Amino acid sequence: MQKDLTRNVLKIVGRIPKGHLMTYSQVAKRSGSVKAYRAVGNILHKNFREAQKQLPLAEFRPVPCHRVIRSDGYLGGYAQGSQKKQNLLEKEGHVINNGRIVIPKLN
């Protein structure tokens, strides 16, 4: 079961396009496990791209875990540190203020 969830999460997150975001909760829901948002965070934390820490799932290319944030707009954790996550998101065009994504107001 955990291996299936891991595969589903990595497939979903692997498809998030540059400049887009999903929440841990959205990923959990799409993976078929609505309440598994904490498990999603744990799975992504283990996705760190150092050979000795990689998940043993050869079919997955590096997964853009930095594109998954908390439902309240805060960035959430990141295996390489929150500053690295913030830098990657800013590079992709997101505005971050006090550790939180700034959502532009729509007219």
* Residues recognised as catalytic: 65
Q: What share of the chain is helix, strand, coil (3-state, %, to 5)?
A: 40, 10, 50
Between CA 75 and CA 86 the distance in angstroms is 7
**Euclidean distance between CA atoms 30 and 11, whole angstroms:** 10
Looking at residue 69, the DSSP 8-state letter turns out to be: E
Grouping H, G, I as helix, E, B as strand and the rest as coil, residue 7 is helix
User: How many whole angstroms separate alpha carbon 67 and alpha carbon 86?
Assistant: 10
